[in-house]
Amino acid sequence: MKPTHIEHIGIAVNSLAEVIPYYERILGTACYAIEEVADQRVKTAFFKVGQTKIELLESTDPEGPVGKFIEKKGEGIHHIAFAVNGLEQALEEVKEGGIRLIDEKPRMGAEGLHIAFLHPKSTFGVLTELCEDKNK
Ligand code: CMX
């Protein structure tokens, strides 16, 4: 597996409304999309920084992944996402390498990307997402 770039960095926040103005100011660019991902129990807000995005994540359910994360660790960097070509193949490779998959098969994430997560307990504490944009 060889990712093409960092697709996005996910940041857990208590309130999108409160945090969006800060990122608009430091990045000098407007938030270009807000999307609820019901499946993941989050509302997301996106900014572009070159080829990479910043994805703010507000939980819609205290028992969801971001709700639990904030309860334990507070606001902050939640995950890093690498763009790959051939997500199924990449998942096979990381699994063969002994890395624990959260998602055995790709599923749909924000912005229509196909995504899968690797477990932070086997990636040295960093929740890692692999994603593929099949429209590219
Ligand atoms: N980064 C690093 N470690 C994390 C973590 C994160 N984002 N989230 C949880 N952990 C750690 C916890 O601190 C905990 O460690 P300890 O046992 O040492 O305390 C351990 O993982 C288990 O955490 P938990 O709170 O008991 O939560 P679960 O086991 O129920 O779930 C995880 C953890 C990673 C499997 C789950 O959060 C998950 O499936 N995440 C992937 C999906 C996701 O995060 N979706 C939100 C983003 C969606 C999007 O980008 O669109």
pLDDT in tens, 76-129: 999 999 999 999 999 999 999 999 999 999 999 888 899 999 999 999 999 999
Which pLDDT does position 50 carry in this prediction? 96
Under the phi-then-psi rule, with left for phi > 0, alpha for psi from -120 to 50, and beta for the rest, what region is 74? left
Residue ranges per structural domain of the chain: 5-132
Q: Please give the residue that has the higher pLDDT: either 109 or 7.
A: 7
Tokens 């572009």 found at: 48
Of 8, 43, 69, 107, the residue with max ligand 1 atoms within 8 A of its CB, to mutate for a pocket test, comes to 69
Decide: 102 in ligand 1 pocket, CB within 6 A. yes
Six-digit token string for 18: 């409160």
Which pLDDT does position 65 carry in this prediction? 97
Decide: 10 in ligand 1 pocket, CB within 6 A. yes
Superfamily grouping for domain 5-132: 2,3-Dihydroxybiphenyl 1,2-Dioxygenase, domain 1 (3.10.180.10)
Which pLDDT does position 136 carry in this prediction? 73
The average pLDDT across 45-68 equals 97
d(CA 90, CA 131): 10
- Beta pairing partners, 117: 129
pTM attached to this predicted model? 0.96
Decide: 68 in ligand 1 pocket, CB within 6 A. yes
Residue 122 exposed, middle or buried by CB count within 10 Å (0-12, 13-18, 19+): middle
